[in-house]
Amino acid sequence: RKEVEQDPGPFNVPEGATVAFNCTYSNSASQSFFWYRQDCRKEPKLLMSVYSSGNEDGRFTAQLNRASQYISLLIRDSKLSDSATYLCVVKEAAGYSTLTFGKGTMLLVSP
């Protein structure tokens, strides 16, 4: 069974802190990887794709380790508005493959 595992949290951090989320996936043939953000009672929104060489978008950095089947998301200088649930998502194959979602990690940023 294809699985994506995440620490559910919550992670409680003060504003300005750096926080890291981890995710593992079971299917070694997985092709593509993403982080989505989901606010309470809202739809998931794409935060960033994760590339093999690692990638950065402002305060957010994503890393992929294919050998360990491990994905990470680092958030620097946390803002109150970063409070949300972060979903680790894996695409199993190229083309019109389906996505497998982790259950999400909740982040709470406090003043």
Partner 1 sequence: DGGITQSPKYLFRKEGQNVTLSCEQNLNHDAMYWYRQDPGQGLRLIYYSQIVNDFQKGDIAEGYSVSREKKESFPLTVTSAQKNPTAFYLCGVGGIPYNEQFFGPGTRLTVL
- Interface residues with partner 1 (CB under 8 A) are 4, 8, 31-32, 34, 41-46, 49, 87, 91, 95-96, 98-99, 101-104
Cβ closer to partner 1: 18 or 98?
Answer: 98
CB of 90 to partner 1, least distance (A): 11
Q: How far is the CB of 19 from partner 1 (least distance, A)?
A: 20
Residue 27: phi, psi to the nearest 5?
Answer: -90, 105
Residue 109 phi, psi (nearest 5)? -105, 125
Other Cβ atoms less than 10 A from the Cβ of 91: the count is 18
In the complex, what is the shortest distance from the CB of residue 41 to partner 1, in angstroms, rounded to a whole number?
Answer: 8
Q: Is the CB of residue 92 less than 8 Å from the CB of residue 31?
A: yes
